[in-house]
Structure 1
């Protein structure tokens, strides 16, 4: 069996905690996840913050676009009660807050640049500079559906791993990825077919499908030698991996 499949916690332990909050990341660490997957956007005053949607409407008690709110305004919002009232203390973290926390552990960090719908001016340089500040070049993987952003990250620092996000059944996507300087594939689970997993493995290109929440899918990908899975349920995935390795 190849090296065991790594487990990335999707927006933290999003199945059990409010997504993209420090309490969710802490839960993923405690569950034994190897890494985190999280989303980054820019506030009105150019502060990189960790939130998935372009607006705060779904995951906070506020309303409005992230790009139109200052960091100070965002920090006042309750980012936990929508999930459960016991998390009313949770707030939207800044990327710096997450990096400070990560400097005390060894988790891999899959940072998704949310630059598809809104072209945040200069987001790539702001993020890369912060990665440098915290010396996390070897622990961060930057992914995006906006592949122009990945090209820009690669131009700024070729030593930071980049991963193409895609949801289609692309043919030999490892060749395309290589063409833009990306070295891994983060694909929608339904397109992580055996031919893709095997072809990418032969090409030395890691595949990390999202979002892998069903036990049967976890087991299948782990047995198939998939490099990593991205899941809302890291605790369950860690247990299934240990069972799979025992067999």
Structure 2
């Protein structure tokens, strides 16, 4: 009599579980790789933007002029009554340099606005003069009605590297310059003391800088935050026609 043998098969599913785990692991690795690539790309873009922003902020903060002082000059009336000088400040003489950390500044791109509280003149550097000579430029400015309300002139005091030229006025670190703004009025003197007699026909700038006058000068730069200098002229005139108005 034959034995009744039954075939038995064991169902072992552990291999399937191992493959499933491997698939999940590979998927996690792929997701992590994609996420890492996105993070690396994003961090690179943020770093570039941060560097650009830092550079722009540095320019905004430091790329401007340091106004050391401002003198007001009264014209000579050439008369014997009183002190012989006009009753308005007819020329502003501004001594300036670059602030620490500033890069070179092209004065030809700077716009000045000067106001006496009632009249405002917007000025740019006088770079179209046919003479590469400061005295000629100053004469060209003060003897022309249109020019005195449109332009300012400048002259270097210290320029060791020779970067500042009258036709290419670039200010670099260590340079000191004078900026001149014509503020003569209808009450101005017939000539400006310490300057050529050729300046005896100064024109009216429509500004009236007499005593107790609030004056605002705004410097707008090509890059950087505009700066404002404000002061009030003295309550009385000094004996000397040149008066320190700021600081």
Q: Which TM-score band applies after superposition, normalised by the shorter structure?
A: under 0.3
Which structure is richer in relative contact order (CA contacts within 8 A, separation 6 or more)? 2
**Larger radius of gyration, structure 1 or 2?**
2
TM-score by length of 2: 0.22
TM-score by length of 1: 0.22
Structure (1 or 2) with the greater strand fraction: 2
Structure (1 or 2) with the greater helix fraction: 1
